[in-house]
Chain A
Amino acid sequence: KNEVEQSPQNLTAQEGEFITINCSYSVGISALHWLQQHPGGGIVSLFMLSSGKKKHGRLIATINIQEKHSSLHITASHPRDSAVYICAVHTDKLIFGTGTRLQVFP
């Protein structure tokens, strides 16, 4: 079993829909990252969380340390949000989830 599990693996949405991507982990962590990877490989760090909730524009990330679970929400999704979203947890190193491929259609 992977130490970091993401769901769903693939997600298709219509423009404007509310999207949730989930991340569960089984190890003790000091922080959790949400990353975005566009075709071509470039990775952008969206959030780094150790507790509670963070918001940036249409993106919201939450974490529940007791339940070892985090969610990434995208409100009013747009085709430019189409990317792979990766959850990564910080132990003594970064451990990555397998990613969620999101496609948003106009």
Chain B
Amino acid sequence: KAGVTQTPRYLIKTRGQQVTLSCSPISGHRSVSWYQQTPGQGLQFLFEYFSETQRNKGNFPGRFSGRQFSNSRSEMNVSTLELGDSALYLCASSEGSTYNEQFFGPGTRLTVL
């Protein structure tokens, strides 16, 4: 089976712009979770989608949003980018729930200038 894929792998944006990141889970996995990793805050949970529904959300402002499509692919959007949004964004998929083993994608490294 192919692993979790994320596109793009690298992205440079300027403050105020918006960005959309994409995650394709392992075939058959219905849960997709998104995480932000920064040197200062480490790994933090953004949100989880299961069968097109947001099942859980972390403590991030409303500028961070996501969605999941019927084929389980997920997108994450960040609007009005701030310098502090520069981070590695990781998605992970699992079979039924985040309580199952999670399989991580390679991440998208976002730089906001």
Contacts and interface: CB of A to CB of B under 8 A. Distances in A.
Contacts of A97: 42
Nearest to A95: B45
B104 A44 contact: yes
B101 A93 contact: no
A interface: dominant SS: strand
B107 A41 contact: yes
Range for the number of chain A residues in contact with chain B? 20 to 34
Contacts, number: 47
Contacts of B45: 93-96
Contact of A98 (B42, B48, B103, B104): B42
Interface string B97-113: 01111111011010000
Nearest to B90: A43
Given A31-B99, A45-B101, A95-B45, 14 more contacts: A30-B99, A41-B88, A41-B90, A41-B106, A41-B107, A43-B104, A45-B102, A48-B101, A88-B43, A90-B98, A94-B33, A94-B102, A98-B42, A99-B42
